[in-house]
Amino acid sequence: MTAQIAAGATEESLHRATPEQRRARTVGILLLLLAAFVLWIFGLGVESTDTSTFNLSLPGAKYENIKWEVDSRMLSAILAAVIAFLGGLVLRRTYLRWTNVALAISLALTALSFLTWAAAGKSFSLVGMLVSTVVLSIPVTLGALSGLMCERVAVINISIEGQLLTSAFVGTIVGSAANIWIGFIAAVLVGALLGAVLAVLAIRYHIDQIIAGVVINIFALGLTSFLARRVLTAAPELNSPGRFASAKIPFFGDIPVIGPMFFDQNMFVYATFILVIVIHFGLFYTRWGLRSRSVGEHPKAADTVGIDVHKTRYRNVILGGCIAGLGGAFLTLSQVSRFEENLTAGIGFIGLAAMIFGRWMPFGALAAGLVFGFARALQQKLGILGTPIPSEFLSMLPYIVTIIVVAGVVGKSRPPAADGQPYIKQ
């Protein structure tokens, strides 16, 4: 009898599973399937005698020739076991808070297993790949942070792409005409200017914010392409700003793997990491953050307690523009050192996706940025390895993974409540 009641109770509690519990179940099953996939494709897909060699140091580093030689099949089997273990843990649904962490770790392990498979019988510069990941994640992360700054005060910034493009352009021209530092400052200021334009259109003139953003994007693309063709072709000397050298941090920069990834980069990379921390701290532990969030969630209530809604919005949107300007400067003053038409090619939109993917949180934006950075690094490096899979499929894999993650795992992410709505003081 008691057993029956207990069974009934269990069934009922299963029935009443909270969304988190249901999500955990989905994720757990997904992870078990992933483990099977890893074992079957990556583990059994290589010869049993194959070894993968990962180079963990760059040529010319202080501690050179650090290599990790590993039995390809064995490593994938171990990774599959770990993923299965994590899947089991998630399925037990005792630690619901760690669902996403387990998922993130599993995806990273899957990526490692994939690389093991691709590099079976060959040698692959893992650290080079990871350094590229960090570098390529920077504009995406900065774009996402820019969007986040605006959306936390309920202004949708879809013009990240245009802000990146324009500041990349201005950074190039001014950097070539004067010097690279002045170019950098000009790029950030132009980002701020476009932020201000967005703010005025959205806050002062109540234009639909998506319209305003799209307009800025079109305007930026048109104007920069127009000027590039009309001015830069006539004066090519304005299109070589040089680039910021990397500034190695003593001691830390020599640590294998982590050193070149995080401590031997140029200042844009350091600035991005610092910004992530500062914005997180600012949003959740300072008066400014509390006010910003209240303006984003319930502007009327914020107004009632004496917060100047419009001023807060102007300030944050302009700051967001500055951050996008930093990202634009990174593109031409650090990566390619030359402007080309439509140089951004959708990075701003990926930044937008990263912001939503990262659930409007600074560290989420960073994590999402790194995922996309890894995707683009993979695209660049896999050509060298020559896998049997057509390169196009490998290239689209990260986007497919993003869809799966967003669909099955992240679920509904909630934007600030007042997002996109103009505030009219009564």
**Binding stretches for other proteins (CB under 8 A):** 156, 201, 205-212, 214-219, 221-223, 225-227, 229-231, 234-235, 341, 346, 349-350, 352-353, 356-357, 390, 392-393, 395-396, 399-400, 402-403, 406-408, 410-415, 419-421
Cβ atoms < 10 Å from Cβ of 389: 12
CB 159 to other proteins: min, Å: 11
Q: Indicate the residue among 92 and 412 with the shorter CB distance to other proteins.
A: 412
Q: What amino acid is encoded at 307 in this protein?
A: I
How far out from the chain centre does Cα 265 lie?
18
Coarse DSSP helix, strand, coil percentages of the chain, rounded to the nearest 5 percent: 70, 5, 25
CB 75 to other proteins: min, Å: 28
CB 222 to other proteins: min, Å: 3
CB 131 to other proteins: min, Å: 23
Type and span of the H or E element at 71: strand 67-71
Phi, psi of 424 (to 5 degrees): -110, 115
Cβ atoms < 10 Å from Cβ of 325: 31
Q: Indicate the residue among 41 and 397 with the shorter CB distance to other proteins.
A: 397
Q: What end-to-end distance do the CA atoms of the chain give, in Å?
A: 64
CA-wise closest residue to 406 among 27, 137, 151: 27
CA-wise closest residue to 354 among 259, 243, 247, 276: 276
CA atoms within 13 A on the CB side of 132: 15
Rounded to whole angstroms, the Cα distance separating 104 from 33 reads: 15
Q: Indicate the residue among 335 and 413 with the shorter CB distance to other proteins.
A: 413
CB 231 to other proteins: min, Å: 6
Angle between helices 309-330 and 126-151 (to 10 degrees): 160
Rounded to whole angstroms, the Cα distance separating 370 from 349 reads: 15
CB 134 to other proteins: min, Å: 21
Q: Indicate the residue among 286 and 342 with the shorter CB distance to other proteins.
A: 342
Rounded to whole angstroms, the Cα distance separating 99 from 22 reads: 11
How far out from the chain centre does Cα 410 lie?
15
CB 103 within 8 A of CB 409: yes
Q: Indicate the residue among 53 and 395 with the shorter CB distance to other proteins.
A: 395
CA-CA distances (angstroms) from residue 184 to 139, 146, 212, 278, 350?
15, 17, 26, 21, 23
CB 296 to other proteins: min, Å: 11
CB 156 to other proteins: min, Å: 6
Q: Indicate the residue among 239 and 402 with the shorter CB distance to other proteins.
A: 402
Q: Indicate the residue among 69 and 392 with the shorter CB distance to other proteins.
A: 392
Q: Indicate the residue among 252 and 399 with the shorter CB distance to other proteins.
A: 399
Radius of gyration (C-alpha) of the chain in whole angstroms: 24
Type and span of the H or E element at 208: none
Q: Indicate the residue among 223 and 261 with the shorter CB distance to other proteins.
A: 223
Q: Indicate the residue among 130 and 368 with the shorter CB distance to other proteins.
A: 368
CB 285 to other proteins: min, Å: 26
CB 25 to other proteins: min, Å: 14
